Amino acid sequence: MKRIIFTLFVALILANTSSCSKDDKDETENNTETKAIKVPLGDPFIMLYEDTYYAYGTYSANGIAVYASDDLLTWKVPEEAKYGLALNKNDVWADRWFWAPEVYHVNGKFYMYYSADEHICVATSDSPCGPFKQDVLKPMIEGEKCIDNSLFIDDDGTPYLTFVRFNDGNNIWIAEMENDLKTIKMGTMTKCLNVSQQWEQVWPRVNEGSFITKHNGIYYMTYSANSYESQFYGVGFATATNIMGPWVKYENNPVFQMPGELVGVGHSAMFTDKEGNLCKVFHAHNSKTAIHPRQMYVTTVGFENMGGTDVMTIDSDYITPLLK
């Protein structure tokens, strides 16, 4: 078992499970004494900043929730986050459907990429806990519904954004961005992935939740397929030698689906932990009979050389973070 899984497993056994947590969908607004619960985030994202982990995800109807942790196991609502929200709907365009946030620290500023009312948006803050606000109250692409925007900055400093368009089911596109990290170069928009493999055709036509990392000069894009409501929601990956494509899906996808007792796993993102391990955060259904609230889990990612090609592997062992 990989080092992160072993270390965190031992820490979890030693942890005291009685704590203060939040309850119900907008639990961040009402403190109650209760036992620890699984972190209730769909489409989760974790950022490590100044020795603290911050998790963001789909959950609150009022914006984007944030949780903080020192060890990936035990999470809490940061005192700095008003109402437990890093982003409040009163500070941004749209007032509903706040989904799939990702937060990056670039040049002293925090950038949050997220979906609101099925449009991709970006907001900024001076703190990882927010408040994240928009300078101009509008989505990144006006007049077209898109979701799941994810930032990637290449080795030469060029920023790119991947996102989902609804022009053949859910499919993944990429575009270069201006250096302000807010403006898409519309003329560079290029299609990356659409439903094309048998495992993706359970229900309905969905490729979404993209995330790019680079390994030995090759771009690896993880993505999710099938409806998030399906127990067969899972993760595959594609590779490219040029970030604009063509992207080629791994022939043995999915690489992550129904690990252990979990179902509906997907919409994942990657981060590097304090020990230098490449990790993946993902969500799963609440149970085998209920989808919501979806819950956050963490595992590790590796690369295995197979026939001269490095294949991304995702560990089927995982840890279960708890909100206290």
Over residues 175-221, the pLDDT tens digits come to 999 999 999 999 999 999 999 999 999 988 999 999 999 999 999 99
Structural element, H or E, at residue 5: helix 3-14
Catalytic residue among 43, 102, 176, 273: 43
User: Is 79 considered catalytic here?
Assistant: no
Query: What is the C-alpha to C-alpha distance for residues 150 and 142, in angstroms, rounded to an integer?
Result: 18
- The pLDDT score that the predictor gives to residue 34 is 63
CATH architecture, domain defined by 3-323: 5 Propeller (2.115)
pLDDT for res 256: 98
Question: Is the separation of the CB atoms in 270 and 211 below 8 Å?
Answer: yes
Q: Facing residues of 206 across strands?
A: 170
Give the CA diameter of the chain. 55
pLDDT reported for residue 265: 98
Active site residue 208: yes
Q: What is the DSSP string of 82-117?
A: GGGEEEEGGGSS-SS-EEEEEEEEETTEEEEEEEET
Residue 205: CB partners within 8 Å, gap ≥ 6?
A: 168, 169, 170, 194, 195
Measured distance CA(236)–CA(238) in Å, rounded: 7
- CA–CA gap between residue 312 and residue 314 (Å, rounded): 7
199-208: buried (b, 16+ CB within 10 Å) or exposed (e) per residue?
A: ebeeeeebbb
pTM: 0.90
φ, ψ of residue 5 to 5 degrees: the values are -65, -45
186 backbone dihedrals φ, ψ, rounded to 5°? -60, -30
Give the Cα separation of 244 and 47 in Å (integer): 25
DSSP-assigned letter for residue 6: H
Give residue 100's pLDDT. Answer: 98
- 180-192, pLDDT tens digit by residue? 999 999 999 999 9
Question: Per the residue annotation, which of 27, 102, 200, 208 is the catalytic one?
Answer: 208
Spell out, as residue ranges, where the chain has pLDDT lower than 70.
Answer: 1-34
